[in-house]
Structure formats: C-alpha cells, structure tokens
Structure 1
Amino acid sequence: MTHFVLVAGAWLGAWAWDEVAAELRAAGHEVHPLSLSGLAEKQGEPAGQQTHVQDIVDEVERLDLREVVLVGHSYAGVPVGQAAERIGERLGRVVLVDAHVPVDGESFLSGWPSDAVREAIAAHNGFWPCPEPAEFAGQGLTDDQVAKFVTGATSHPGATLTEPAVLSRPFGELPGTYVTCLLDGEEPWGAAAELLKSERWNLVNLDTGHWPMFSRPRELAAILEASAG
C-alpha cells in the first residue's frame, strides 16, 4: 500500500482527482487529494506561493504519512516540488504530471511567455480566471469533461503564480517521475528537460492532453501506481 497526496493545477481542487483516486483506492492504496488555499472549498482564503507549499507540508504531517508519493499536476509542480524537499525522510517519490518544475528564485510564470497571464491577473482583481471552453480544444477532452472542469473551476490566486520558489538544493536530487502528456507537447522543455538529466528521474509519456485526470484517469492511475514501485 502506498500513500498518495494528489495536488491538481490551476483553478482545480481535490475534486479533480475523483476518478484517479477511485482507481488507486480500488488497488488498495491510501489516497489524499488536496485542495490548496484559495481554491475549490477553500475559495476566499488568502494564498501566496509559500501558502500552497505549507498546505502540502501540513497535510503530510497532519496525516503522519511516510514513504509518501507527492503528485503535482501543472502549476502544482511548483509547490509540490518545494514541499517534497521540506518533508524530508517522509518522502517516497515525487511525480510531476505535465507540470512546471520548481526553480529556486523563479515563479510559475518565469521562463515562458506569460504576459497574457499577468495581464489577466491584473484585470481580474489579482486572480487568473478559468479558460473559456473553446480554449480546451485539442486536449483530448469530451464536451462533458470540459463542462465538468469549467463548472468546478475556481479563479486562481495570482500571487501563487508570481511569487518565487524557495529551494535549498537541486531539485533533481530527489527521486521522481515526470509524466509528459503528448497532446500538450511531445518533449519536456525548460526546467523539466534539465530535470530529466538527473539519474534519479525518469520520463513516462501519456498519449492525451494536459488534464489526464479527466481524459485518461485509469491510465494516469496506473502510471502513478507504477511510479511508487
């Protein structure tokens, strides 16, 4: 049995993992999907980048988890990666699902053309609004899956995207798996490409779009289970 802590990307909460969590639990694992501050049922709570890191650390410590697999999707790779370092010997493995990789001193918005995101945050009182349904085209999602996403989504606290990550050592020293969703780009780029040069990390490809917890939950659960080894 493995303990999984699952953290979804921007706009999403614990609810996004319902199908993946059901698959993992059916296989006998303990699964703890987590909503970060300011999102889903925690909407309205103030949040910065370090708030989200602490949310994850607190959950692991509250549950007294050991050999925990921390899973971060998309944006959540940044706080999950920092939390993985801070929980020390409690960590079993990190799994990043089509995720941004934390880099000390850099934010989620660093290293890619993010002016439009910054403008959207400024225009929406400090929050990044959920994409319109048309923006999900080409990501392997059905109309029903897009509707589920948009209906459940929460505008994302902008400070969590612009504040820098804080790491005390190279992230590649931790053991991990990186999952690339091929419809979103066939090759990891930037910090993810650098991370995969580490002997402690391996790459897994998944033939779907950026939100596999909706489009391919069974396949994603199998990858997570295999990563725990």
Structure 2
Amino acid sequence: MDILLVGGLWLHGSVWGGVASALEGLGHRPVPLTLPGQGDGDASATLDDQLETVLAAVDAAPGPVLVVGHSAACSLAWLTADRRPDKLAGAVLIGGFPAEDGRPYADFFEVRDGVMPFPGWEPFDGPDAADLDEQARSAFTAAAIPVPEGVARGVVRLTDERRHDVPVLVVCPEFTPAEAREWIAAGDVPELARAKNVEFADIDSGHWPMITQPVELARILAAATDAD
C-alpha cells in the first residue's frame, strides 16, 4: 500500500526524508509529495492545483492508499477522502484537523505580494516548537517556502458524504488524544464528529514530528497501514 505524505505550510516534500527512510525499512512504500507552490516557484498555484496533485498520486497507486496530511494539510487529506473515498484505506491527520466546507484552507497569517511567508517563531512559542533547537529552527526558516495566496485563501469544498466512512487516525503531537477527543465532542471539529471511525495516537513532539521524531512517526504510520 502506498503512503502519501503531504506536508503543511511552508514545507517541501523533502521534509519527509527521515520518515520515508524509516517506512521503507519497515517494508512500506512512502510517497512524499511536493505540491504546486511548495518548491517549484509557482506563486500562482491554488488549492485546487495542490488537490489535483494529491489525487493524481492516489489514482496512480495500484491499490488502496493511506493519505497522511500534516497541520493545514489535514484539510488537504480530508479533501482527498471526499474526492476518492473508495480508493483510500484511511486518512492520517498529524497536528491538525480538517476545515469545514466553505471555510478558507489556511488563511492564518499576513499575505504579502501574493504569498504568505513564514511568520517567524513567535506564533509557535510553547509546545509547538519546544523540541526544535536553534539549529533546527534556523534550518526550517531558511527552507520555508512562502505559501501562494491561492492556496492559503482557497476555499474548502466538500461534497461526498462517503468521506465520513474513511477511517481516520489523528496523530497528536503538541496536544493530547484526550484534548483532541474533547474538541471533537464539543463540536469544534464537525467533520470528525461525523466520521464513523476515528482513532488517536500520541507522539512526544512539537508540531513538526517529521523533523524531530521521524522514526516514531514512521512507526505510527506503519501501524496504521498494517491495521488496514
């Protein structure tokens, strides 16, 4: 089974290198994706462009696919579940939750000159970045790719109720499974409140476990694949 790895904002597909190597060692087939606007210099890329890239990877797979979305890309993984519910073995959501229909994809920070640059570390003070040392932070900042406005402000459109049949694993880095369950039960995550099969996995990391805990993250993803 292919495991599609979709990074969040500002991330090139190469951020999954450690996870991909560990998954290969466990006998799985990782497919890290570099999305339009996340490494090709195309500031005109849109959310639809990114979704089409993920869907193309799903369609190219010989069998069922596990799609993994990180942070904002949890919505991209869920959009994939909406468009290809019969092709997915499951959706893994790392450090984030899917946006509702009609909501902006990731309109979180200031857009300048058509892109949303990395805003620096102040918004991520605390558990998000506590496990990133200065060297890791410098490397992240240097590699961060500004997000095209058409991606950040793209509107999420969900149309197929069968997405709620797709098994979901929520990987909890800077928050706990108990907190995630509380948010869902309180109605803060309507899409997952309607999902029929939601499991949770804890990981001792900040917001970017593919950087700080790649082997453990790979183990969690491999277990999710094996469960399917």
Report the TM-score when normalising by structure 1: 0.85
Describe the SS at the equivalent of 1:182: coil
Following superposition of structure 1 onto structure 2, how do residues 42-61 of structure 1 map, counting pairs within 5 Å? 42-44=40-42, 46-61=44-59
Deviation at 1:48, TM superposition (A): 1.4
Deviations 1:154-212 (A, max 9, x none): 10112212221111134433211011213599723465476156441111122211111
Deviations 1:125-169 (A, max 9, x none): 121111325555432112222222112211011221222111113
- Partners of 1:165 and 1:88 lie apart in 2 by 16
Question: Aligned match of 2:146 in 141, 155, 160?
Answer: 155
Describe the SS at the equivalent of 1:58: helix
CA RMSD in angstroms, aligned pairs only: 2.3
Question: Aligned match of 2:170 in 164, 170, 178?
Answer: 178
- Partners of 1:183 and 1:176 lie apart in 2 by 17
- Partners of 1:94 and 1:185 lie apart in 2 by 16
Deviations 1:54-112 (A, max 9, x none): 11001222x334211100001111122111222242211100101230321112247xx
Deviation at 1:3, TM superposition (A): 1.2
The answer (yes or no) to whether the contact 1:130–1:153 under 8 Å persists in 2 is yes
- Partners of 1:92 and 1:168 lie apart in 2 by 19
Unaligned runs of 5+ in 1: none
Give the percent of matched residue pairs that are identical in Structure 1 and Structure 2: 28
Report the TM-score when normalising by structure 2: 0.85
- Partners of 1:193 and 1:144 lie apart in 2 by 38
- Deviation larger for 183-192 or 140-149: 183-192
Q: Does the C-alpha gap of structure 1 residues 11 and 65 become closer, same or farther in structure 2, counting only changes over 3 Å? A: farther
Following superposition of structure 1 onto structure 2, how do residues 1-229 of structure 1 map, counting pairs within 5 Å? 2-40=1-39, 42-44=40-42, 46-61=44-59, 63-109=60-106, 114=108, 117=109, 120-121=110-111, 124-133=112-121, 136-138=124-126, 139=129, 140-170=131-161, 171-182=163-174, 187-188=179-180, 189=183, 191-192=188-189, 195=192, 198-228=195-225, 229=227
Amino acid across the alignment from 1:48? T
